Structure 1
Amino acid sequence: MTEALLFMLGIGGVCGLVLSYASKIFYVYEDPRIAMIENNLAGANCGGCGYAGCSSAAQAVVEGKASPSVCVISSSEGIAKVAEIMGMDPGSASPRVANNTCDGGKRANTKYHYLGVNSCKALSGFFGGQRECGVGCLGLGDCIKACNFGAIDMGPDGFPVVDETMCVGCGACENACPKNILQVKTMSERLLDFNQEDGALAPCSQRCPAEINIPKYISEIKKGDYKAAVQTIRMRNPLLLSCGRVCPHPCEDLCRRGIEDEPVSINQLKRFAADYEMKSGTRVPITCAPDNGRKVAVIGGGPAGLSCAYFLRRVGYQVTIFEAMPKLGGIIRYGIPEYRLPKKVLDWEIEGITRLGIETRTNVRFGSDFGLGSLVTAGYEAIFMGIGAWKDYSLGIPGDHLEGCYNGINFLSRSAMGEKLPLGKKACVIGGGNTAVDCARTMLRLGLEKVYMVYRRTRKEMPANEVEIVASEHEGIDFVFLAAPSKVIGNEDGHVTHLEYLKMELGEPDASGRRRPVPVEGSETLLEVDTIVTAIGQSPDASFKEETSRRISELALTRWSTIDNDPTTLQSTSIPYIFTGGDSATGPALVVDAIGAGRRAARSIDLFLKGEKIAPVEKSLQGKRIEESVFTTVPGITPIKRAEMPELPVNERIRSFVEVDQVLPEDQALKEANRCLNCCRTCYNPDNSIKESYNA
């Protein structure tokens, strides 16, 4: 018995040694994160993610083969926890949702007729499809068949429509679409998505500096879904109220209806949707990705800075705006008069941006109240400089220092802050741009008897918006063309009494393409005025370079005092964690240009803080046109009168700063929306349905 017991113990010992040795040879390590991640997945083992159960999905996340949002039925909190386990940015882990990028236009030339094919994939094999458009939806619904969650239906216009509330972001529709029309992306990816040369884009959207999906929001207005229109605009432009009032709408120059008729009043429709939200008493909800704990500083609270801060906050960053003036808004607050953009409207719009969780610090000037070193010490990992262009160019002629002489932006900003300036009875504004027009119309409203605009070229060459020039003419501004100021004359008290100018004639075109003004010898002329405002351009104020920090001294500037950057990524050429956009990078430009630049900079900052390569957007349009979308004729268009902008009568508006341009009434907005041809890249809708809807 004892011998048997010892024998059994011996066998057990040998087996233990063998198993111990084998465990070292055949040991399989399982990353503990797999179990942690699996515990934060839904646990349904539904296979909707494309993996064989939650354990396989968790392993794929750990191996880097799937994102934290792999689970198609997980909550945003669950996704954020998975991202945290992986040490990843939870801001980029928001749920994925499908989006159809081609939903406009029916009319594209037919290449051939087919019979019996009922699959997009099969049809695309026949020379790319039956229509000439190479990027358009084929309309046979492979994406609908592939969706197991009932999130896609064929819309009434023959294009798939995604129900975002049903979509789980599994990607089956994207895989099924042979034309890459269906794209499954997170909110963050969609916010920082940019127009590309191979996109299904209407001409108007190609031209918009903010890259708004114009046909989509007009289509939503047609349907009476004004909240959806606001959301569509706000995906690319957070300042829709401001843009609806001050944008010169370059998009309308490329409106396809305008080839045969008057273009659609795109900007009035944008303002209609924006004003609808403001007057509704409620705000359309704005969603943000989970906070990722990374800090970004935005220097300057103008259009570029507000735009950059808005998009960074929406994709999960902690943002602080530092502003030198008492309130945010920059040039649109202190450089655009009340009669064009009421301050209460601007306040409402900016409040909607900052309430997303953006911290603001006003009355602090970069270079004196704080510097680059203090920002880095405070934990800001990237900096956006949107300091604008506030430094006025001086006239540079004898007497331009006399009492009664002002510079354009300085005059407008002081007036905007309520300062009472001594202006006399007669004034002239020197310049032909929008700032000059704003100065002239402002002085008229301040009670001056006579206001002149002195410009060295003709009306045809004036760079101001045409609508602003026309409004000035209606209000009684006197234009003195072909006049180049040569001297400011004053009295014995040192106050302005006259402007002396030389008459000009136009010579050969200069680098800008405009004919160069040439002085006429012996043509000196006097203009009797008490006040002279010079509005001939601005540049950024680079006095912040005087800060004692060695690092800021390394920031490269151009000869125009703009911050030198890569024009495609907006990253500084000298300090990698500094980005810039808007007037501080380009010099004075459109508000909508600054908004587009703010979003582009947000994309680059996002890449920078993720440690990814800051590469330009592949095939980015950025001012270019898609050649196949350029039409010279648009058959079948029946001319329909364009909606006229409602405005205050001249005799009412010149006595106050009440807003001149009014919003379209709802019935007129709907009629104007129905003038839109709902264009895509090469398609547009037949005009008959538009005419019937308009007359309904």
Structure 2
Amino acid sequence: MTIAILVMLGIGATCGIILSVASKVFYVYEDPRIGQVEYFLAGANCGGCGYAGCSAAAVAIVEGKAGPGICVAADSEAAVNIAGVMGVDPGTAEPLKSLNPCSGGDRADDKFIYNGAMTCAAMTALYGGKRVCSIGCLGMGDCIRSCMFDAIYMGPEGFPVIDEFKCVGCGACATACPKDLLSVKTMSQRLLVFNQEDHALAPCQQTCPAEIDIPKYIRLIKEGDYEGAVNTIRERNPLLLSCGRVCPHPCENYCRRGIEDEAVSINQLKRFVADYEMNSGRRFPISCAPDTGKRVAVIGGGPAGVSCAYFLRRLGHHPTIYEAMSKLGGITRYGIPEYRLPDKVLDWEIEGILNLGVDVHYNTVLGQDFTIQSLRDEGYDAIFMGIGAWKDYTLGIKGEELKGVSQGINFLSSVADSPDKKVPIGKRAAVVGGGNSAIDCVRTLLRLGCEEVYIVYRRTRKEMPANEVEIVAAEHEGIKFQFLAAPTRVLDDGQGNVKGLEYLQMELGEPDASGRRRPVPIEGSETILDVDMVISAISQQPDIRFMEGEPDKENIAITRWNTFDNDPETLQCTVPYLFTGGDVATGPSLVVDAIGGGRRAARSIHQYMTGEEIKGSPRSLRKRHIPESLFDTVAGVVPSPRTPMPELPVAERIDSMIEVDQVITESDARHESKRCLNCCRICYDPDRQDQNAA
């Protein structure tokens, strides 16, 4: 017995020695962070993340193969905690959500009928699928069967609907979709999506410079979800109150309903929901990504700069706006009269953007108070240039130096900056030009008490580039139009004051590069217009005198139009840290173009600061149109009257800066939203007689 015990003790001691040596020789180190990370995971071991359980997922996170937000069953707080363990940017912890942009379903026509293929994958193998639409959903439900969280169901109209509350962003549905239609994105990624040739887009959305999902927000208005409509617009355009008042709505030119009937009043619907929020007594919440610590200097607080700052802030960055004037708004404040866009409306809209955490330096002039280089020295990670086009073109005729001659933007900005909105004017004035600025000048002059006001334009009314509604309003208010007239000199009264404007009568010749017929002077047709004030409003360009003091000016390319040379897809300038947008990038353009440029630049700046490749999409549309989406005829349209724009009568508006165009009523908004055909790339809803009569 004693011998047996000694033998067992000997064997045990020998094994202990062997194991001790083996533990030293074959020691495997486990990163302690794996256990910490796994602690914050949900412990569901569901496999939705793509790894075999939470332990494998924790290892993948520590090894850098997965991000802190990979767990589909945990919440965003868990992802932030994991990011803290890993010491990485918590911005990667934004929740993912699946998106289905296709609303075709049963509306989509079939190329053929084949009952043997019961899955989307099998159907795709047959000539790309049965649907006529080249990119549309096939409706067989592969995505629904792939979802382990019951977050997708087949809607009543025959296309999958995603329940955002149940969706965990695992991506199984996107993997299962053979047409790559579904996508899984964070809020930040959704903000940075731009129109592409292979997207499900209605013609109106393809045309919109801001790329707003127009059919979606109109559908939400029809359903009474006004907050959802505002949020839809705000994913692409933060200045919806302003655009609802001043946008010339090029989208309506491509409204399918307009082919057979009057176009839907898209812009009035935008203004309706924008004003609804402003008058509701509360601001709808705007989400922002977690802070990244990245700082961006935004030069210019106009629509491009404010838009860029807005999207950068929502992406988690810290923008600071440098503004030369005492208030933000740029051309929307100092170039658009208050009877079109009231200051209090613009103030409310901009306040909401600043409340997100955007800093501003007012009365700070580029080239005097700071330079591009000084901003670099302060440690900004990137710079956005959005100074606009504030330098008026002169007429280039004799007498422009006389007292009583001014330029359009200078005149409008002096009125806007005046406490009582009044400046000295003459009794009879001529405004030279045919664009929106010229119309704004003449209508402002009337409101300031000018007795007789002329538009002097070298072409005819048909060629005027101003918005048609603005031209009509000016006609109603008594503006006189002198067409086919090219100014040749301003007459002097002998004391340095204006006493008249001489012009040559013109006739239209062959079309020029713009497509408009070229005005040709009629010899010996000099005519004098009896005026004591002349305003030149023919166009503007950026003022870039500040570039003379920039150390890096040799590397910053400027075009012959005084705009910053840039890649039109990314808006990056010829030095990598500098980006641009708005009029200083494109030349004078629409407010909504500047807003779209601000978002486009924000995406590129985001890519630059996060170390991504700065690039756009190889299939980018950029206001081009998808040929198959443009129709010559639209079957099933029942004529329905377009909601007229409510406006103050001339007698009530002509003596003040009170807002002329009014917002439509809720009942009119519902009526107008029902006129929308809810178009997609090819699909649309034909009218029903009973619906249209409602």
Which category of TM-score, normalised to the shorter sequence, fits these structures?
over 0.9
More off after superposition, 61-70 vs 226-235: 61-70
- Please name the residue that 1:464 is paired with: 466
Instruction: Give the alignment partner of residue 531 of structure 1, picking from 533, 552, 562.
Output: 533
What SS is found at the alignment partner of 2:552? helix
- Please name the residue that 2:690 is paired with: 692
* Letter in structure 2 aligned against 1:119: T
Residues 299 and 6 (structure 1 numbering): CA distance in 2 closer, same or farther, change over 3 Å?
farther
Contact 1:105 1:678 in 2 (8 A): no
- Please name the residue that 1:244 is paired with: 244
Contact 2:432 2:457 in 1 (8 A): yes
Residues 661 and 30 (structure 1 numbering): CA distance in 2 closer, same or farther, change over 3 Å?
same
- Please name the residue that 2:40 is paired with: 40
Instruction: Give the alignment partner of residue 432 of structure 1, picking from 431, 434, 443.
Output: 434
**Is 1:444 the equivalent of 2:446?**
yes
* Letter in structure 2 aligned against 1:140: M
- Please name the residue that 1:273 is paired with: 273
- Please name the residue that 2:479 is paired with: 477
**Deviation for aligned residue 1:544:** 1.7
Aligned residues: 690
**Deviation for aligned residue 1:426:** 0.6
* Letter in structure 2 aligned against 1:181: L
**Is 1:72 the equivalent of 2:72?**
yes
* Letter in structure 2 aligned against 1:660: V
- Please name the residue that 1:282 is paired with: 282
- Please name the residue that 1:454 is paired with: 456
What SS is found at the alignment partner of 2:194? coil
Summarize deviations over 1:551-596 as a string: whole Å, max 9, x none.
24532211111011111110011x2101001101011101111111
Summarize deviations over 1:435-494 as a string: whole Å, max 9, x none.
111011110111111100001111111111111111111111111111111100121221
- Please name the residue that 1:372 is paired with: 372
* Letter in structure 1 aligned against 2:571: L
Where does structure 2 lack aligned partners over 5 or more consecutive residues?
none
Instruction: Give the alignment partner of residue 522 of structure 2, picking from 520, 523, 534.
Output: 520
Residues 556 and 135 (structure 1 numbering): CA distance in 2 closer, same or farther, change over 3 Å?
same
Contact 1:545 1:553 in 2 (8 A): no
What SS is found at the alignment partner of 1:229? helix
- Please name the residue that 2:388 is paired with: 388
Distance in 1 between residues matched to 2:360 and 2:193, nearest whole Å? 27
**Deviation for aligned residue 1:69:** 1.4
Contact 1:91 1:317 in 2 (8 A): no
Contact 2:300 2:323 in 1 (8 A): yes
Contact 1:505 1:519 in 2 (8 A): yes
**Deviation for aligned residue 1:162:** 1.8
Alignment of 1:2-151 (within 5 A): 20=21, 23-24=24-25, 26-104=26-104, 106-115=106-115, 117-151=117-151
**Deviation for aligned residue 1:388:** 0.5
* Letter in structure 1 aligned against 2:430: C
* Letter in structure 1 aligned against 2:692: Y
Distance in 2 between residues matched to 1:228 and 1:7, nearest whole Å? 77
- Please name the residue that 1:309 is paired with: 309
- Please name the residue that 2:572 is paired with: 571
**Is 1:329 the equivalent of 2:329?**
yes
Summarize deviations over 1:499-526 as a string: whole Å, max 9, x none.
0111111112111111111111111110
Distance in 2 between residues matched to 1:81 and 1:580, nearest whole Å? 37
- Please name the residue that 2:415 is paired with: 415
What SS is found at the alignment partner of 2:184? strand
Distance in 2 between residues matched to 1:415 and 1:544, nearest whole Å? 26
* Letter in structure 1 aligned against 2:165: T
What SS is found at the alignment partner of 1:60? helix
- Please name the residue that 2:491 is paired with: 489
* Letter in structure 2 aligned against 1:368: Q
**Deviation for aligned residue 1:379:** 2.2
* Letter in structure 1 aligned against 2:194: F
- Please name the residue that 1:501 is paired with: 503
Distance in 1 between residues matched to 2:243 and 2:73, nearest whole Å? 38
Distance in 1 between residues matched to 2:296 and 2:510, nearest whole Å? 49
Contact 1:92 1:315 in 2 (8 A): no
Alignment of 1:121-200 (within 5 A): 121-200=121-200
More off after superposition, 417-426 vs 500-509: 417-426
Summarize deviations over 1:646-687 as a string: whole Å, max 9, x none.
111112111111111111111111111111111111111122
Distance in 1 between residues matched to 2:150 and 2:686, nearest whole Å? 31
Distance in 2 between residues matched to 1:422 and 1:580, nearest whole Å? 36
**Deviation for aligned residue 1:62:** 3.2
Distance in 2 between residues matched to 1:394 and 1:331, nearest whole Å? 19
What SS is found at the alignment partner of 1:437? helix
Contact 1:308 1:598 in 2 (8 A): yes
More off after superposition, 651-660 vs 400-409: 651-660
**Is 1:360 the equivalent of 2:360?**
yes
What SS is found at the alignment partner of 2:381? strand
Distance in 1 between residues matched to 2:356 and 2:502, nearest whole Å? 53
Residues 313 and 566 (structure 1 numbering): CA distance in 2 closer, same or farther, change over 3 Å?
same
Summarize deviations over 1:334-354 as a string: whole Å, max 9, x none.
100101111111111111111
- Please name the residue that 2:399 is paired with: 399
What SS is found at the alignment partner of 1:210? coil
**Deviation for aligned residue 1:430:** 0.4
- Identity between Structure 1 and Structure 2 (%): 64
More off after superposition, 310-319 vs 177-186: 177-186
What SS is found at the alignment partner of 2:311? helix
Contact 1:106 1:684 in 2 (8 A): no
Contact 1:288 1:316 in 2 (8 A): yes
What SS is found at the alignment partner of 1:306? helix
**Deviation for aligned residue 1:376:** 2.1
Residues 347 and 116 (structure 1 numbering): CA distance in 2 closer, same or farther, change over 3 Å?
same
Residues 85 and 578 (structure 1 numbering): CA distance in 2 closer, same or farther, change over 3 Å?
farther
Residues 379 and 177 (structure 1 numbering): CA distance in 2 closer, same or farther, change over 3 Å?
same
What SS is found at the alignment partner of 2:178? coil
- Please name the residue that 2:215 is paired with: 215
* Letter in structure 2 aligned against 1:565: N
* Letter in structure 2 aligned against 1:392: D
**Deviation for aligned residue 1:104:** 4.9
* Letter in structure 2 aligned against 1:542: I
Summarize deviations over 1:385-416 as a string: whole Å, max 9, x none.
11101111111111101111110011001100
**Is 1:551 the equivalent of 2:552?**
yes
**Deviation for aligned residue 1:292:** 1.0
Contact 2:97 2:168 in 1 (8 A): yes
What is the TM-score normalised by the length of structure 2?
A: 0.95
What SS is found at the alignment partner of 1:674? helix
- Please name the residue that 1:560 is paired with: 561
* Letter in structure 2 aligned against 1:625: H
Contact 1:382 1:605 in 2 (8 A): yes
More off after superposition, 413-422 vs 456-465: 413-422
- Please name the residue that 2:596 is paired with: 596
**Deviation for aligned residue 1:616:** 1.9
**Deviation for aligned residue 1:605:** 0.6
**Deviation for aligned residue 1:86:** 4.1
Summarize deviations over 1:354-373 as a string: whole Å, max 9, x none.
10111111111112111223
More off after superposition, 292-301 vs 158-167: 158-167
Alignment of 1:615-634 (within 5 A): 615-634=615-634
What SS is found at the alignment partner of 1:161? strand
Contact 1:203 1:629 in 2 (8 A): yes
Residues 617 and 92 (structure 1 numbering): CA distance in 2 closer, same or farther, change over 3 Å?
farther
